[in-house]
Structure formats: structure tokens, C-alpha cells
């Protein structure tokens, strides 16, 4: 009985090992039910309708121009020549950017640049609608961001070096912060501490390591911020999934803060 929960994945593992594909950031789509759950969660956090959220989730998943750009970039490398990119939980990142229209998005940890391109694609479409925003990525690896080229790079830049140092030396106000760098709980907590005074009153923090550590939940508790966690359910992939730790400054984010009437 117990094997029945795991055996179906063995065939997916065998197929994966025969391909020249990713071995760190895994690419897959979410199951239909998991995608719908994500849409409703984002709806509760932002105040946008589930239908609106789902429109944006489908928008990025069906973006053939972006997918072709990413697949071409990875297939040109021998170690990833069989990769076919799918966005998994990153569709949630995209929907948040499309809905909240942030002026500044910071992502620590760029790697190949898939997340950077997803975020800047959302910023690109926001700009066409009259809402301009800028992306800043940080990465200690000087070769990171091989996929982050034009037209996506026109909407942001990568700051190379230690992420905490990069954050401390840049005077910016952050509407959306995504932690995806050093996956130790201590370093993750240090990043949140550094950006705490840079966050705007309509800020959103996404933790890409929240399926492993409680750093974002602890930060949220200490700063009186809500916290929820979304768990991925990958479709047709052996990886069990990661998730998104989500800490908005308030719920729903699209609501204006309450004001106290003068006596």
C-alpha cells in the first residue's frame, strides 16, 4: 500500500536521468487543482478576483515568446540541452507582479535567470498598461543570469556580489522582495533583516525557501505581518515540489490602509 504512493514516480525518475536536463532548479507545471488553489490564495492576499488571477497564471504559462527564449538559451548548453522550461510556482510570482504593479521588485539569487525573465515579462506588460516598475536581481556568481537578455533586461539589472552587501549599498524602496539565494536559514533571516527598513507600506515578501526553513514566518511574526505558505504539486515530474512563503504587509494588499478619523 505504501509503495503505491511512490512507485509511479520511479518511471519519471528513469526518464529524467536519461536526459541532459536540469539538476538543481527543476522545471515543471503545476497540476490543475494546485493551480486553482494558487489562484484562490493570491485572490485572498491581493483582493483581485480568482478569475483575474487565473487569467494572469494562464498568461505566463502560454507565453510562447518567453518560453522559446528560455528554451533556446538552455538548449544551447550541453548540460541542459534537453530542458523544456515550465514555471511551476513562478507563475505565482508573475501574477503578484501583474496584479500589484510594484515599482521595485528585488530577487536575491538569479541562477540562469528564469525567474528574472518571468518577473520582467510581467513588468513589461505592466508598463504597456501605464504602470512602470524595475527589477533588481542579486547573485554572487558573476556568470549568473545567462538568460536575462533583451528585451527582458531592459526592465532591470543584476547586481553581482553578496546579496546582503548589494542590498545595503543600494538606497531603494522595495514593493516586492523574493528570497531565493543562499538557502540557509541564517542567511535568509539576515536578508529579511536588511530589507525590513526598505519595504514600502504595500510590500510583499515571497520566500522561495519556506518549504525548508521557518525564517520568513519568524520574520513575519516579529514584524506583525501575515504569513501563509503555498505548497506546490508538480505535474508529471518526480520532484515532490517546493512552495512559496508569502508575507504581505496587509490583507488584502489592494485595499487602502484604514485611517483614523480626527476627533
Residue 126 within a domain: yes
Supply the pTM of this predicted model.
0.93
Please choose, from the candidates 135, 108, 132, the residue with its C-alpha nearest in 3D space to the C-alpha of residue 120: 135
Considering the domain boundaries, does residue 207 fall inside one? Answer: yes
Residue 7: DSSP 8-state: H
**Mean pLDDT computed over every residue of the chain:** 93
| Region 76-92 average pLDDT | 87
Does some domain include residue 15? Answer: no
Percent of all residues in the chain with a pLDDT value above 90, rounded to a whole number: 81
How many separate domains does the chain show? 1
- What band does 257 get if pLDDT is binned at 50, 70 and 90? low
Mapping DSSP to helix (H, G, I), strand (E, B) and coil, where does residue 62 land? coil
Q: Is the CB of residue 191 less than 8 Å from the CB of residue 227?
A: no
| pLDDT tens, residue by residue, 95-119 | 999 999 999 999 999 999 999 999 9
Neighbours of 37 (CB within 10 A): 15
Q: 260 pLDDT exceeds 90?
A: no
Residue 120 in contact with residue 153, Cβ under 8 Å? yes
The answer to the question of residue 210 being in a domain is yes
CATH code for the domain in which residue 43 is found = 3.40.50.150
In degrees and rounded to multiples of 5, residue 12 shows phi and psi of -70, -35
Helices (H), the chain: 7-17, 32-46, 50-61, 64-75, 90-100, 114-128, 163-168, 185-195, 215-222
- 47-71 pLDDT tens trace: 999 999 999 999 999 999 999 999 9
Higher pLDDT, 21 or 209: 209
**Local structure of 171: helix, strand or coil:** coil
Decide if 92 is inside a domain.
yes
Q: Decide which of 106 and 19 is more confident.
A: 106
Residue 12 inside a domain? The answer is no
Which domain, by its residues, includes 39?
A: 23-248
- Indicate whether 157 belongs to any domain: yes
> 46 with 53: CB under 8 angstroms?
yes
Residue 173 lies in a domain: yes
Angle between helices 114-128 and 64-75 (to 10 degrees): 150
The reported pLDDT for the residue numbered 256 is 65
Does residue 18 register a pLDDT over 70? yes
Amino acid at each position: 500500500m505504501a509503495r503505491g504512493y511512490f512507485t509511479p514516480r520511479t518511471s519519471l525518475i528513469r526518464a529524467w536521468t536519461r536526459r541532459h536536463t536540469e539538476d538543481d532548479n527543476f522545471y515543471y507545471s503545476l497540476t490543475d487543482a494546485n493551480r486553482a488553489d494558487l489562484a484562490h490564495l493570491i485572490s485572498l492576499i491581493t483582493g483581485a478576483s480568482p478569475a483575474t488571477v487565473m487569467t494572469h497564471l494562464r498568461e505566463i504559462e502560454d507565453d510562447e515568446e518567453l518560453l522559446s527564449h528560455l528554451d533556446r538559451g538552455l538548449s544551447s548548453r550541453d548540460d541542459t540541452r534537453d530542458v523544456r522550461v515550465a514555471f511551476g510556482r513562478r507563475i505565482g510570482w508573475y501574477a503578484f507582479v501583474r496584479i500589484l504593479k510594484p515599482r521595485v521588485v528585488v530577487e536575491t539569487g538569479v541562477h540562469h535567470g528564469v525567474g528574472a525573465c518571468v518577473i520582467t515579462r510581467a513588468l513589461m506588460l505592466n508598463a504597456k498598461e501605464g504602470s512602470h516598475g524595475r527589477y533588481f536581481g542579486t547573485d554572487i556568481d558573476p556568470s549568473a543570469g545567462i538568460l536575462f537578455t533583451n528585451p527582458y533586461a531592459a526592465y532591470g539589472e543584476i547586481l553581482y556580489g553578496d546579496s546582503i552587501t548589494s542590498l545595503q549599498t543600494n538606497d531603494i524602496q522595495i514593493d516586492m522582495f523574493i528570497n531565493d539565494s543562499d538557502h540557509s536559514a541564517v542567511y535568509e533571516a539576515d536578508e529579511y533583516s536588511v530589507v525590513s527598513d526598505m519595504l514600502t507600506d504595500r510590500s510583499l515578501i515571497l520566500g522561495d525557501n519556506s518549504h525548508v526553513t521557518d525564517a520568513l514566518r519568524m520574520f513575519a511574526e516579529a514584524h506583525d505581518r501575515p504569513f501563509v505558505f503555498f505548497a506546490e504539486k508538480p505535474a508529471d515530474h518526480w520532484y515532490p515540489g517546493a512552495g512559496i512563503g508569502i508575507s504581505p504587509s496587509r490583507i488584502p494588499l489592494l485595499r487602502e490602509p484604514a485611517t483614523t478619523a480626527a476627533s
